[in-house]
Structure 1
Amino acid sequence: MKNRLLNICILYMFFPLLLQAADTHSIYNLRCEQEENPLGIETGQPCFSWQIQTQQRNFEQSAWQILVADSPEKLQAGNGNIWDSGKTLSSASILVPFKGKELKAGQTYYWKVRSWDKEDSPSRWSCTHTFGMGLLSEKDWSNAKWIALEKDRKDEIITTGLHGLANVDRELKGKKIGMYRLPQFRKEFTVQKPVKRATAYVSGLGHFDMFLNGEKVGNNFLDPGWTKYDKCALYVTFDLSGQLKQGGNVIGVMLGNGFFNIPRERYFKLLASYGAPRLLMKIQIEYADGSTQTIVTGTDWKTTESPVTYSSIYGGEDYDATKEQAGWMQPGFDDRTWNKALDTGWKTRLLSQRSTPLTVRDRIPTVRLFKTRQGQWVYDLGQNFSGIIRLSLHSKDTHPVKLYPAELLNPDSTVNQSASGAPFWFGYTPKGKGFESWQPQFTYYGFRYVQVEGAVPAGQPNPDELPEIMEITGLHTCNSAENVGSFHCSKPLFNQTYELIDWAIRSNMASVLTDCPHREKLGWLEEAHLMQYSVQYRYNLARLYEKTFNDMRSTQAANGMIPTIAPELVEFEGGFKDTPEWGSTFVISPWYIYQWYGDTRPIETYYPDMQRYIDYLSSKADNHIISYGLGDWFDIGPKSPGESQLTSNGVTATAIYYYDVTLMEKMA
């Protein structure tokens, strides 16, 4: 008996080694279109990638086989009814293109892969992964309508932003624009059968928060990414499969203005308005019995003004908790006083948001609390970052609270917004019934300090019985691009330098690569190629640059010129409109994507547009010399920094032009 137990123990100890001997390698980290189990794929030929785990030295993959099916049961049975590649002799494991049957809009597909080593020994099949197709044409939206709370004011539509007070006053003559009410929408529906799959396709402009039965769907921030809205808008895809319940369900949506509608109030870098905030949505429910149910936005949805009473991407956000309607996101709520949603009749090109979304990356606690000479309380979060605040307070009444974020302090310790856009503030009106918490939904700022007006910190003298702040926490919001590298060494100075740069990168990595997270928030293009190579060591940028390329194409001029910013939400003048060192991102960045990720598709897709840009630069050349634009921007010279002072534009502009054409030669 003892010998039998000993043999069993020995077998148990060596069983993993026996498995390793039988399996020379295994497949892991499956990706489709650079993402694990993606949704909203719009290409008819998605590309697959995988990695190999092995104990062998000098391992080489000699072949692979991919199966794609339209159900997990078929895939489990080895039936690749959508694509069975067969054993394909190839060492490729990165961006292997799909070559099966036509993929259908809104359909979920299941795939797996196996490979062979150089001795022709196969691996086991990988785990099953999925990818979901987006909505590929207008008809796939099933007649969904763009709905709104109120009609557009046609005389206020400004699709090319105005900047500078002189321009604004000349065009608007003192008139305010963009002062629309912020809407919330609800739609109640019933689920009466077991759900197999449910998918939502949503675009809320400028930005939206979506809720299902009172719970926020996803953890994204400022969806969708900003675009040139008359050229295209983005929609976001969510899997709702595990969130629907039998019986009554309610979809709730709140909208903020974003860049879609910038009100002329408080601070604004530019003024633009495409009309009232609006919503487009389709929900596709597939039941276990094979039937389907489709829910789309239309005039049968109900809408009313939300507690968000002010929303500006540049000026801040106000929230009045006394306007909350308890239970509005739950079944059975009495919405008879709400309005029927308006059909705006609006149309624009729709694209799936394939770039990684913004999320809350870090929570930053207050490290110091002090009082200014004038008596205001200031919270020091100890770190400059992009984002918003999380406010927790106790209030006995509805006294409004204002919070002014800033990067700097004045000599008297009050906050200083002079370099970051002023005035900007977060405003909160409490319900006045005890403990409450709130965070903004549709704006963000770059800051370290928060100055309070209308409240006092808990535990401090409070003779006026103002709301008492229990806590202010910073929420660092940025693009959720995957971390792929890090740096650390034995020298603290280098580590601190690295951290400083990383905070700056993250704080400017939104749905576009911005120049600053407060004053402008615009996608100045020279950053997109100058910083690209170094940032790729830290973050996976493949999906973010998909959006960057489309932003450039959507703003390319008829003569081939690429503006200095993309999307071109505002037209600047002179070198701020057109500079070779900026527009050349359209040529340089696709090449860098190819070098880094092995993806040739941006080159294939945009090559004709790149040619148009090269032809434009050639038309500006004099005997192959180009000499215009901003040049070596912000070099240190005898005058205040700005346009190049010490280096001729003919040097940098011609150098970048030469670099462009050498890259075009390689790409060709």
Structure 2
Amino acid sequence: MRIDTDAPYGSDVVASPTPVLSWITEVETPSWRQSSAEIVVERESGAEEARIDGDASVRVAWPFAPLAPREEVAVRVRVSGLDGVAGDWSEPRALRGGFLAEGEWIAASIGLAEPAAAAQPAYLRTEFELGDGVRRATLYATALGVYQVALNGDDVDDQVMKPGWTPYQFRQIHETTDVTDLLVGGRNALGVRLAGGWATEEFGFRENARTFYAEQPSFAAQLVVEYADGSSETIVTGTDWRAATGPLVSSSLYQGEHYDARLAIDGFARVGFDDSGWARAAAGDAIVTPEARTSPFVRRIEERPVVEVTTSPSGATLLDFGQNLVGWLHLRVSGPAGTVITLRHAEVLEHGELGTRPLRAAAATDSYTLAGGGVEEWEPEFTFHGFRYAEISGWPGEFDPADVTAIVIHSDMERTGWFETSDPLVSQLHENVVWGLRGNFLYLPTDCPQRDERLGWTGDIQVFAPTASFLYDVRGFLDSWLDDLAREQENADGIVPFIVPNVLGPARPAAAWGDAATVVPWVLTERFGDVDTIARQYPSMTSWADALLDIAGERRLWEGRFQFGDWLDPDAPPEQPADAKTDADIVATAHLFLSTDLVARAAELLGHEDDAVTYRALAEEVRRAFLDEYVTPSGRMVSDAQTAYAMAIRFGIAPVEQHAALGARLAELTRRSGYRISTGFVGTPIIQDALTETGHVDTATRLLTQTENPSWLYPVTMGATTIWERWDSMLPDGTINPGQMTSFNHYALGAVADWLHRVVAGLAPDEAGYRVIRIAPTPLPGFDHAAAEHHTPYGTARVGWQREGGRIRIEAIVPPNTSARVVLPGGEELEVGSGEHEWTVDDTVVTAPPASVSLQSSLAQIVDDPAAYRAVLDVLEARKPEAAEALRLRTPWLPDRELGETLSNRTGTDVQEAVADALAALDAERGVAR
């Protein structure tokens, strides 16, 4: 049995005096259900016991007296089943109160008295005397910037870039660290390394970039020391501390870090260091009273070696780490004092050179100046880069790639989800999604990790939250970010800004972006059974819905305002990414319905009955307005584009009786586009669901497995190891997209992975937190197998299917204390309890024999026949490449237009005859009579 709390992954520190408790039971008894649970907490004052009747085991309210600050307890659980058999007691789970009491924060903010430059990195220190008999020592620390603390020469933890980024003017985070083992009786020393990080970065685009929070970093801390005799003392930051500059010459998230080892101040965090040349610390910018951390720590997660060293056409030495990642480089080098090693970073190569244009104003350059005298090791500390490739210059002597290692950093969350399939390209696509999450979940969910942006765009996480919630335990991570969102929103009259934290000016409403306020809390409830977050966020949810309803007015249509729309529709010009096929007003009103509907559902869940009635009625008014304005009775939409149809189906706007017509048109438009993707940020996460829900599995499969540009798999064929921002961030000739906005690590379009998990593998929550699991695999044509595994709040669930000689075998694992509703291929429905299950059904996918193809075949027949399509393209690419490109990108693949008619407008008779011969040869090869 495992006990979980809201403590960050790998920590025993809780931010609340009443932490929720969850436990996972391991039992082999089929269909096991908990009947009760006994919980014991061991405190210094003695043991307390509580009994919980029923089967609740996820996010159970703390049944004891609240914890005190710094209190250490141990919790054990024992459960009994409906059979009356009690299990063994769990191993104790240690918990420690990481919060401060009301008014207990007394530390002042300090920094450099006379900074030598903007955003000047600083070193701070103090020494203090302690008595004997230290029982416990707890360090509370924070910064308007990023910092690390060392006590008596040793860092207090392995976290990096603390305390992360929150809206500093509204919410500041403090770390809570047990440092008892680092202190001694008598004299002690505390040293701080401090840089600006997000607090001093210049945010904004082009000439609008400016510092938003502070010109200089500052630090605040208090060390609470408790003695065995019950007494205590507190050491706090103040102007009696000493401050200086040092070897970290400059540090910036965007520009990089520059370190001169000749200026080293070794031992400054040890007793006896000579700080006579240091100045007194100065009072820093005011820091709001900090709160205990609830989100995961950021740590060094992984190291990756150089996989290849190449020389660029210009003669530069380039290192390839084989994976687009986020972090920095670690060096091991020796050479003369004053030697400068320069490191430049980029995600891709363009014609053999480092592709830095997408970085825009971000230099992403680090440098290290050697002290000389032996082997030196160094890595940056207060910056990070998104890169696969690095250019290294200035290396003294012969370069050995073993002396450079890439350090991967991100928020340290528990991995909870996996997916596998027989299609290697789709498997790589899924791996790219995972790495996209890893690179962009760094204290907050960012859009990209490499250029002069790295912002918490609300639209990206709104569409990606379901995928993220399957792959990792992101509950605490997103809960913390939603707290920031609500505080930004409070400062903007209910409007959710484009980004959180907001550093881009006054908040403006935008559909699919601001709707993160309603969608993300609902996802946390659906995937983690987290009612606490949705209860806290409920005022934020209603404020957003109310603001939109006010904008929509009596017509209940959100129209005529600024919108991002179906952002990055592949048909939009590179410099006009909002110029999508689906009208922005349709996108806006669809999301007005979505958010209002979610508020109604939240109100019902929370027991706010009057609100539930009110918002349900308002949602119905919006639904009716949408249908009247944008959908014809026959099921055609004013914007005849895939995203419009997908929203009407997937958001539940259109009545069920219209779904068949809407789905048929959606499938027809998808074929018309040659099964290439034709949606942007809004349509991409939902188009596959809309197709499969309405019976068009073949169409969804063709769309998923398309490798031509634009498609999910095109980047994979181009060697991508993360999800790209644009469908064609890199063009087929190896040239970077000409738009000024191009990232090669942008997870939003990877939101399709949620469909892979839920629909293809068939593993989804049917009730909140997977209390009831939905098992409904969808064997895709041409796939041999697929499987998904997820560590639910109740334990591990797994669903997999495999084709075997005309039959499909489905295997499933349902965790204890849950049940599953099962829909087998072919439609049989059943309910099962926990345990291992297996079913075998007939394979319902029927492969029709190929029909004869010729110049008289319709364009629809050709594109529906991959072999025929390939035969036509092969001839055109060899004989007239420009015609091949036109056919591929500008041909509507219609059922009533012949191939020969289309070719006659683009090629001569010789090419047409060659195509006819190729199709005849294909017929002969397949044994099809003509």
Q: TM-score, normalised by structure 1?
A: 0.84
2:375 match: secondary structure: strand
- Alignment match of 1:539 (pick from 453, 463, 472): 472
Which residue in 2 is equivalent to 1:615? 546
**1:659 deviation in Å?**
1.1
Which residue in 1 is equivalent to 2:493? 559
Which residue in 2 is equivalent to 1:260? 199
| 1:636 partnered with 2:576 | no
Q: After TM superposition, list the pairs within 5 Å mapping 1:354-365 onto structure 2.
A: 354-365=294-305
Q: Distance in 1 between matches of 2:359 and 2:42?
A: 52
- Alignment match of 2:582 (pick from 647, 650, 660): 647
Larger relative contact order (CA 8 Å, sep ≥ 6): 1
| 1:416 partnered with 2:355 | yes
Q: Distance in 2 between matches of 1:213 and 1:608?
A: 47
Which residue in 1 is equivalent to 2:112? 149
Q: Distance in 2 between matches of 1:581 and 1:626?
A: 12
Q: Distance in 1 between matches of 2:449 and 2:506?
A: 19
Q: Structure 1 residues 95, 232: CA separation in 2 closer, same or farther (over 3 Å shift)?
A: same
Q: State whether residues 8 and 297 of structure 2, in contact with CA within 8 Å, keep that contact through their aligned partners in structure 1.
A: no
Q: State whether residues 218 and 285 of structure 2, in contact with CA within 8 Å, keep that contact through their aligned partners in structure 1.
A: no
**1:138 deviation in Å?**
5.8
Q: Structure 1 residues 533, 259: CA separation in 2 closer, same or farther (over 3 Å shift)?
A: same
Q: Distance in 2 between matches of 1:409 and 1:267?
A: 24
Structure 1 gap ranges (5+): 1-27, 153-176, 461-467
Which residue in 2 is equivalent to 1:115? 79
> What are the Cα deviations for residues 614-640 of structure 1, in whole angstroms up to 9, with x where unaligned?
110011115111133111001022533
Q: Which amino acid aligns with 1:612?
A: S
Q: After TM superposition, list the pairs within 5 Å mapping 1:420-431 onto structure 2.
A: 420-421=359-360, 422-431=362-371
**1:262 deviation in Å?**
2.1
Q: State whether residues 319 and 428 of structure 1, in contact with CA within 8 Å, keep that contact through their aligned partners in structure 2.
A: yes
Q: State whether residues 554 and 567 of structure 1, in contact with CA within 8 Å, keep that contact through their aligned partners in structure 2.
A: no
| 1:296 partnered with 2:269 | no
Q: Structure 1 residues 502, 434: CA separation in 2 closer, same or farther (over 3 Å shift)?
A: same
1:569 match: secondary structure: coil
- Alignment match of 2:255 (pick from 297, 312, 315): 315
> What are the Cα deviations for residues 109-140 of structure 1, in whole angstroms up to 9, with x where unaligned?
33222222224443343322222223345621
> What are the Cα deviations for residues 554-584 of structure 1, in whole angstroms up to 9, with x where unaligned?
21144211011101022278xxx43121001
Q: Structure 1 residues 347, 369: CA separation in 2 closer, same or farther (over 3 Å shift)?
A: closer
Which residue in 1 is equivalent to 2:442? 510
Which residue in 1 is equivalent to 2:556? 624
Task: Decide which moves more: 470-479 or 115-124.
Answer: 115-124
**1:34 deviation in Å?**
5.6
Q: Distance in 1 between matches of 2:203 and 2:23?
A: 50
| 1:181 partnered with 2:120 | yes
Q: State whether residues 151 and 344 of structure 1, in contact with CA within 8 Å, keep that contact through their aligned partners in structure 2.
A: no
Q: State whether residues 255 and 278 of structure 1, in contact with CA within 8 Å, keep that contact through their aligned partners in structure 2.
A: yes
Q: Distance in 1 between matches of 2:296 and 2:496?
A: 24
Q: Structure 1 residues 375, 137: CA separation in 2 closer, same or farther (over 3 Å shift)?
A: same
Q: Distance in 1 between matches of 2:335 and 2:204?
A: 28
Q: Distance in 2 between matches of 1:89 and 1:430?
A: 65
| 1:65 partnered with 2:29 | no
Q: Give the greater-gyration-radius structure (CA).
A: 2
Task: Decide which moves more: 350-359 or 415-424.
Answer: 415-424
**1:292 deviation in Å?**
2.4
Q: After TM superposition, list the pairs within 5 Å mapping 1:240-639 onto structure 2.
A: 240-262=179-201, 270-272=209-211, 273-344=213-284, 346-411=286-351, 413-421=352-360, 422-456=362-396, 458-459=397-398, 471-519=403-451, 520-556=453-489, 557-571=491-505, 577-622=508-553, 623-627=555-559, 628=561, 629-637=563-571, 639=573
Q: Distance in 1 between matches of 2:71 and 2:164?
A: 24
1:222 match: secondary structure: coil
Q: Distance in 2 between matches of 1:151 and 1:96?
A: 52
**1:320 deviation in Å?**
0.9
Task: Decide which moves more: 434-443 or 195-204.
Answer: 195-204
> What are the Cα deviations for residues 308-359 of structure 1, in whole angstroms up to 9, with x where unaligned?
1111111111111111122212222122222222233613142222111221
Which residue in 1 is equivalent to 2:602? 667
1:531 match: secondary structure: helix
Which residue in 2 is equivalent to 1:160? none
**1:245 deviation in Å?**
3.6
Which residue in 2 is equivalent to 1:165? none
Q: Which amino acid aligns with 1:474?
A: A
Q: After TM superposition, list the pairs within 5 Å mapping 1:116-131 onto structure 2.
A: 116-131=80-95
Q: Which amino acid aligns with 1:665?
A: A
Q: Distance in 1 between matches of 2:383 and 2:80?
A: 51
Q: Distance in 2 between matches of 1:37 and 1:486?
A: 21
Q: State whether residues 149 and 156 of structure 2, in contact with CA within 8 Å, keep that contact through their aligned partners in structure 1.
A: yes
- Report the RMSD for the aligned CA atoms in angstroms: 2.6
Q: State whether residues 143 and 163 of structure 2, in contact with CA within 8 Å, keep that contact through their aligned partners in structure 1.
A: yes
Q: Which amino acid aligns with 2:480?
A: K
Q: Distance in 2 between matches of 1:605 and 1:593?
A: 12
Q: Which amino acid aligns with 2:299?
A: T
2:461 match: secondary structure: helix
Q: Distance in 1 between matches of 2:309 and 2:234?
A: 52
Q: Which amino acid aligns with 2:179?
A: L
Q: Distance in 2 between matches of 1:418 and 1:620?
A: 39
Which residue in 1 is equivalent to 2:851? none
Which residue in 1 is equivalent to 2:136? 197
Q: Structure 1 residues 634, 433: CA separation in 2 closer, same or farther (over 3 Å shift)?
A: same
Q: Which amino acid aligns with 2:25?
A: I
Q: Which has the higher helix share?
A: 2
> What are the Cα deviations for residues 474-518 of structure 1, in whole angstroms up to 9, with x where unaligned?
111112111012223333222212112211221111111111102
Task: Decide which moves more: 204-213 or 489-498.
Answer: 489-498
Q: State whether residues 34 and 49 of structure 1, in contact with CA within 8 Å, keep that contact through their aligned partners in structure 2.
A: no
Structure 2 gap ranges (5+): 604-930
> What are the Cα deviations for residues 57-97 of structure 1, in whole angstroms up to 9, with x where unaligned?
332221122233432xx55xxx22xxx32x33221111111
Q: Structure 1 residues 469, 64: CA separation in 2 closer, same or farther (over 3 Å shift)?
A: closer
**1:651 deviation in Å?**
1.6
> What are the Cα deviations for residues 221-254 of structure 1, in whole angstroms up to 9, with x where unaligned?
2111212211121111212233334444322210
**1:269 deviation in Å?**
8.3
2:234 match: secondary structure: strand
Task: Decide which moves more: 29-38 or 478-487.
Answer: 29-38
Task: Decide which moves more: 418-427 or 285-294.
Answer: 285-294
Q: Which amino acid aligns with 1:145?
A: A
Q: Distance in 2 between matches of 1:638 and 1:227?
A: 34
Q: Distance in 1 between matches of 2:244 and 2:43?
A: 41
Q: Which has the higher strand share?
A: 1
Q: Which amino acid aligns with 2:29?
A: Q
Q: Distance in 2 between matches of 1:602 and 1:88?
A: 22
Q: State whether residues 225 and 353 of structure 1, in contact with CA within 8 Å, keep that contact through their aligned partners in structure 2.
A: no
Q: Structure 1 residues 88, 228: CA separation in 2 closer, same or farther (over 3 Å shift)?
A: closer
Q: TM-score, normalised by structure 2?
A: 0.61
**1:265 deviation in Å?**
14
| 1:234 partnered with 2:168 | no
Which residue in 2 is equivalent to 1:30? 3
1:621 match: secondary structure: helix
1:615 match: secondary structure: helix
Q: Structure 1 residues 345, 649: CA separation in 2 closer, same or farther (over 3 Å shift)?
A: closer
Task: Decide which moves more: 585-594 or 94-103.
Answer: 94-103
Task: Decide which moves more: 265-274 or 418-427.
Answer: 265-274
Q: After TM superposition, list the pairs within 5 Å mapping 1:88-107 onto structure 2.
A: 88-107=52-71
Q: Which amino acid aligns with 2:195?
A: G
Q: State whether residues 15 and 294 of structure 2, in contact with CA within 8 Å, keep that contact through their aligned partners in structure 1.
A: no
